[in-house]
A and B are shown apart, each in its own frame.
Chain A
Amino acid sequence: MRTVIFILQKEFRQVFRDKLMLPIIFIVPVVQLLILSYTATFEIKNTRIVIVDLDHSQRSRELVFHFESSSFFKIVSRQQNYQLASEWLKNGDADQVIVIGADFEKAIEANQSAKILLVTDAINGSAASLMNAYAQQVIQGFNKNILTEKMPFTTNKGTLSAEPLFWYNPKLNYVTYMVPGILVLLVTIIGFFLSGMNIVKEKEMGTIEQINVTPIKKWQFITGKLLPFWLIALFELVFGLGIAKLVFDIPFLGSFPLLMGVAAVYLLVILAMGLLVSTLSDTMQQSMFISWFFLVIFILMSGLFTPIESMPAWAQWFNKINPIAYFITINRMIMLKGSDFFDFSELFYALSGYAVVMLLLAVNRYKKVKA
Chain B
Amino acid sequence: MKPVIEVENLVKKFGNFVANDSLTFSVFPGEIFGFLGANGAGKTTTIKILCGLSSPTSGKVSVAGFDVYRQSEQIKRNIGYMSQKFSLYEDLSINENFQFYGGIYGLSRKEIRERTKTLLSRLDFLKAQNEVLRNIPQGWKQKLAFSVAVMHQPKVVFLDEPTGGVDPITRRQFWELIYEQAHNGTTIFVTTHYMDEAEYCGRVSIMVDGRIEALDSPKVLKNQFAVNSMNEVFVKLARATK
Contact = CB atoms under 8 A, between A and B. Distances in A.
Answer whether A and B touch in the complex at a CB cut-off of 8 Å.
yes
B103 interface: yes
B53 A213 contact: yes
A207 interface: yes
Interface of A: 2-3, 5-7, 9-10, 13-14, 17-18, 205-207, 209-217, 368-371
Given A3-B106, A7-B104, A370 B55 contact: yes
State the main secondary structure of chain B at its contact with A: mixed
A215 B73 contact: yes
B67 to A, nearest CB: 13
Interface residues of B, number: 35
Contact of B55 (A6, A14, A217, A369): A369
Contact of A209 (B83, B91, B103): B83
Contacts of A210: 81-83, 87-88, 101
Interface in B92-137: 92, 96, 99-106, 132
Contact of B52 (A10, A369, A371): A369
Nearest to A213: B81
- Which of B54, B72, B103 has the largest count of A CB atoms less than 10 A from its CB? B103
Closest 5 CB pairs of A and B: A6-B103, A206-B85, A210-B87, A213-B81, A215-B76
14 contacts: A2-B103, A7-B100, A10-B99, A13-B92, A13-B96, A209-B87, A210-B87, A213-B52, A213-B53, A213-B80, A214-B104, A215-B105, A368-B53, A369-B53
A213 B76 CA distance: 6
A13 B91 CA distance: 9
A366 B55 CA distance: 15
A17 B103 contact: no
A206 B83 contact: yes
A207 B73 CA distance: 18
Contacts of B87: 205-207, 209-210
B99 A9 contact: yes
Nearest to A204: B85
A214 B87 CA distance: 13
Nearest to B68: A369
Interface of B: 48, 51-55, 72-74, 76-77, 79-83, 85-92, 96, 99-106, 132, 158
A195 B104 CA distance: 21
A213 B106 CA distance: 14
Given A213-B76, A215-B77, A14 B52 contact: no
Nearest to B80: A213
A371 B69 CA distance: 11
B103 A212 contact: no
Contacts of A209: 53, 81, 83, 85, 87
Contacts of B77: 215
B51 to A, nearest CB: 5
A219 to B, nearest CB: 13
Nearest to A207: B87
A116 to B, nearest CB: 69
Given A2-B103, A3-B103, A6-B100, A213 B92 contact: no
A207 to B, nearest CB: 5
A10 B88 CA distance: 12
Contacts of B101: 210, 214
A46 B104 CA distance: 63
B101 to A, nearest CB: 7
A2 B87 CA distance: 22
A20 to B, nearest CB: 12
B54 A211 contact: no
Given A14-B92, A206-B83, 6 more contacts: A207-B87, A207-B88, A212-B53, A214-B105, A215-B76, A215-B105
A34 B103 CA distance: 43
Contacts of B86: 206
A5 B103 contact: yes
Contacts of B88: 207, 210
Nearest to A15: B91
